[in-house]
């Protein structure tokens, strides 16, 4: 079977970075009121800036398909076009429409000749599932190369016009940071952006290439109920009722289409499950974590970094903090695109050298699934 390499990787972040102080200028104020929990949430997540595909009037400046296409064009420049590419894969949480599939919309933006296209739907792991499809297609000699892109345009979903009046939970957030991981939390966390990569079965000369050793994906949905959801309501028994089973009145009254998160489940499972998965990988794949040069964890908040460092140490997983590489404070949580955005930044940082091993971690709290990926610089 062929080796698979990431030959090129680029990003597209729309507009200028948005500071904490300016967020409500873009996202708007619910019922005209300042959020009383915003400063507390930002203090916990420690994000300093992020990017929005919006202007200050709340108008959309870029669609998801457009920022995906723009990232892809940067990857292809100056010597390739989509006509040289055999497979296009795309993953996102926030497609522009329910149908057609997101990757088809991206292909439409690119306007290239017919090509195999695959869309991965979900939340944070959708970007990694898109990447894995491309990786396996090349590995199996189905194609020689592929473009994969991961992207989000969450800001328009989080705009005040889409929310009813929220209850002020300031005291609860002070006492338990996890309570912030609800609708108001997500407004001050989620960001927009895209990252795209060129994969092939050979290295490119005069470039830093990353060989994909493996991509390991596991779901705990068979054991743990839903944590993050949209287009549905979570009932008292933990089951979801989808929007199509609701009356229009209930859809509106219970904010069925806003994104929500079960804070108690997140607190109980998000770190523990990721550690369990890594321990399984270390056993099954004979991974010696001390050989990792850089650890790239996608975390929704720097609050979880502290929890993960502690959990790894207690589990005897030896990845010291100086090996951790994150860009969350400056880029924000870009969901499906976050892992590739971290990878893009470290590839262009001049930190890497031949033989370095990179371990990427992507947790998805929607129904608790995890991806780990091992890369080697060649």
* pLDDT higher than 50, residue 273: yes
Per-residue confidence (pLDDT) for residue 175, from 0 to 100: 59
165's tokens:
């009046």
- State the pLDDT confidence band at 356, using cuts at 50, 70 and 90: very high
303-318 confidence digits (pLDDT tens): 889 899 999 999 999 9
Which CATH number is 152's domain given? 3.40.47.10
* pLDDT higher than 60, residue 170: no
Claim to verify: residue 148 and residue 244 sit in the same structural domain: no
Claim to verify: residue 242 and residue 204 sit in the same structural domain: no
Per-residue confidence (pLDDT) for residue 100, from 0 to 100: 97
Rounded average pLDDT over 81-87:
97
Claim to verify: residue 59 and residue 95 sit in the same structural domain: yes
Distance (Å) of CA 26 to CA 35, 185, 198: 13, 16, 33
Claim to verify: residue 268 and residue 253 sit in the same structural domain: no
What is 335-368 written as a DSSP string? Answer: GGGHHHHHHHHHHTTT---TT-EEEEEEEETTTT
Per-residue confidence (pLDDT) for residue 171, from 0 to 100: 52
Per-residue confidence (pLDDT) for residue 164, from 0 to 100: 57
Per-residue confidence (pLDDT) for residue 235, from 0 to 100: 92
Angle between helices 126-139 and 338-347 (to 10 degrees): 70
3-51 confidence digits (pLDDT tens): 999 999 999 999 999 999 999 999 998 777 788 778 888 888 899 999 9
- State the pLDDT confidence band at 182, using cuts at 50, 70 and 90: low
Claim to verify: residue 135 and residue 216 sit in the same structural domain: no
Q: Which segment of 110-114, 168-172, 225-229 scores lowest on mean pLDDT?
A: 168-172
189-244 confidence digits (pLDDT tens): 899 999 999 999 999 999 999 999 999 999 999 999 999 999 999 998 999 999 99
* pLDDT higher than 90, residue 253: no
Nearest to 22 by CA among 52, 45, 62: 52
Claim to verify: residue 254 and residue 265 sit in the same structural domain: no
Domain total in the chain: 3
Is cis: bond before 278, omega within 30 of 0?
no
* pLDDT higher than 90, residue 245: yes
Rounded average pLDDT over 151-180:
67
Claim to verify: residue 171 and residue 310 sit in the same structural domain: no
Q: Which domain holds residue 283?
A: 211-222+261-377
**Measured between alpha carbons, how far is 138 from 134 in angstroms, rounded to an integer?**
6
Per-residue confidence (pLDDT) for residue 183, from 0 to 100: 63
Claim to verify: residue 149 and residue 73 sit in the same structural domain: yes
Claim to verify: residue 243 and residue 278 sit in the same structural domain: no
Contact 24, 38 (CB under 8 A): yes
Distance (Å) of CA 290 to CA 75, 258, 309: 32, 42, 15
Give the list of residues 6+ apart from residue 259 with CB closer than 8 angstroms, or none.
Answer: 157, 158, 183, 186, 228, 229, 230
Claim to verify: residue 248 and residue 275 sit in the same structural domain: no
Claim to verify: residue 57 and residue 202 sit in the same structural domain: yes
Claim to verify: residue 273 and residue 373 sit in the same structural domain: yes
- Mean pLDDT over each residue of the chain, to the nearest integer: 92
């Amino acid at each position: 079977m062929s080796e698979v390499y990431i030959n090129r990787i680029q990003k597209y972040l729309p507009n200028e970075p948005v500071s904490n102080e300016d967020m409500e200028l873009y996202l708007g104020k619910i019922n005209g009121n300042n959020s009383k929990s915003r400063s507390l949430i930002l203090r916990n997540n420690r994000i300093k800036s992020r990017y929005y595909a919006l202007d200050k009037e709340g108008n959309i400046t870029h669609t998801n398909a457009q920022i995906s296409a723009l990232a892809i064009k940067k990857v292809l420049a100056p010597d390739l076009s989509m006509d040289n590419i055999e497979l296009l894969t795309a993953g996102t949480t926030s497609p522009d429409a329910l149908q057609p599939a997101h990757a088809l919309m991206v292909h439409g933006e690119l306007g290239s000749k017919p090509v195999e296209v695959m869309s991965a739907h979900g939340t944070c792991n959708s970007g990694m599932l898109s990447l894995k499809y491309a990786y396996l297609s090349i590995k199996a000699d189905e194609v020689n190369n592929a473009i994969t892109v991961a992207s989000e345009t969450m800001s328009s979903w989080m705009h005040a016009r889409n929310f009813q009046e929220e209850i002020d939970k300031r005291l609860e957030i002070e006492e338990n940071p996890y309570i912030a991981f609800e609708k108001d939390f997500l407004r001050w966390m989620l960001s927009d952006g895209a990252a795209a990569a060129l994969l092939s079965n050979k290295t490119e000369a005069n470039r830093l290439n990353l060989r994909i050793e493996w991509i390991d994906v596991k779901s705990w949905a068979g054991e743990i109920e839903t944590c993050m959801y949209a287009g549905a309501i979570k009932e008292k028994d933990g089951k979801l009722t989808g929007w199509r089973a609701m009356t229009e009145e209930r859809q509106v009254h219970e904010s069925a289409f806003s994104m929500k998160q079960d804070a108690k489940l997140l607190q109980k499972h998000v770190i523990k499950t990721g550690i369990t998965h890594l321990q399984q990988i270390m056993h099954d794949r004979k991974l010696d974590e001390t050989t990792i040069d850089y650890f790239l964890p996608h975390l929704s908040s720097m609050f979880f970094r502290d929890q993960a460092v502690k959990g790894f140490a207690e589990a005897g997983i030896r990845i010291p903090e100086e090996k951790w590489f994150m860009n969350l404070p400056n880029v924000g949580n870009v969901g499906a695109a976050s892992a590739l955005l971290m990878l893009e930044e470290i590839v262009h940082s001049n930190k890497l050298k031949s033989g370095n091993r990179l371990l990427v971690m992507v947790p998805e709290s929607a129904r608790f699934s995890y991806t780990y990926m091992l890369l080697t610089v060649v």
